[in-house]
Amino acid sequence: MKDTIKEYLDDNLARVESLVLTYESLPAAQGSGRKGAEVLDILRAAVVLLHASLEDVLRRVASWKLPLAPKSVLDEIALAGANPLSKKFALGDLAAHRGVSVDELINSSVKDHLERSNYNNTKEISRLLENVGIEVAKVNGRFANLGEMMERRHQIVHRADRKEQVSGSGDHAVRGINKGTVRGWADDVKAFADDLLAQL
């Protein structure tokens, strides 16, 4: 399983790097000075893909380890096919799962839960890690940088990376971004994933 998680991450990070290389190849990206918002959108897309790559690692780890979690953790996951907001179910709710083993039902419930999951900050990541038995202090060396990347992804996805207020000369309505920052965050995602997989 660890090899599969690493393989998917390597493939995803290669896609992020491909976007950065595409950005570098454009005439509008050459030279010094601030680049236009349109060409920098390629780097913004790379940040969104990078965040998705991090979430993919977390979901794959969760899919592997959550079914083995203790009762207190599983109690927070809804029964497969049930209302996801309800953590309780009646005996009749099990009728739809006749012939399915308990392990299969737990796995299916975890899978449904993960389909609705997302990890938008390091607090949410920490909670997941604790739920799968990982000591957060052993893997959180890159959390500050990952937090910055996730916050930036939020600004890109929900605010089109626009500044709330633009005033004075030289200010631009859209935030700047550079390839070095994106590549640095990609290194942070890889280092975090390596640390995480070393604990499994």
Q: How would you write the pLDDT of the chain (200 residues) with one tens digit per residue?
A: 999 999 999 999 999 999 999 999 999 899 888 888 899 999 999 999 999 999 999 999 999 999 999 999 998 888 887 777 777 777 777 777 888 888 898 989 899 889 888 999 999 999 999 999 999 999 999 999 999 999 999 999 999 998 876 655 555 788 999 999 999 999 999 999 999 999 99
Query: What's the one-letter identity of residue 81?
Result: G
pLDDT at 137 (0 to 100) = 96
pLDDT at 107 (0 to 100) = 87
Cβ neighbors of 30 (< 8 A, separation 6 or more) are none
pLDDT at 166 (0 to 100) = 61
Residue 23 lies in a domain: yes
Q: What's 51's DSSP letter?
A: H
Residue 149 lies in a domain: yes
Of 191, 185, 190, 194, the C-alpha closest to 48 is 185
pLDDT at 168 (0 to 100) = 52
Q: What's the pTM?
A: 0.89
pLDDT at 167 (0 to 100) = 59
Residue 8 lies in a domain: yes
Q: Report whether 132 contacts 62 (CB < 8 A).
A: yes
Residue 58 lies in a domain: yes
Residue numbers of the domain that contains 152? 2-64+119-198
Residue 166 lies in a domain: yes
Please tell me the distance from the alpha carbon of residue 85 to that of residue 90, in angstroms, as a whole number. 14
- Count of domains in the chain? 1
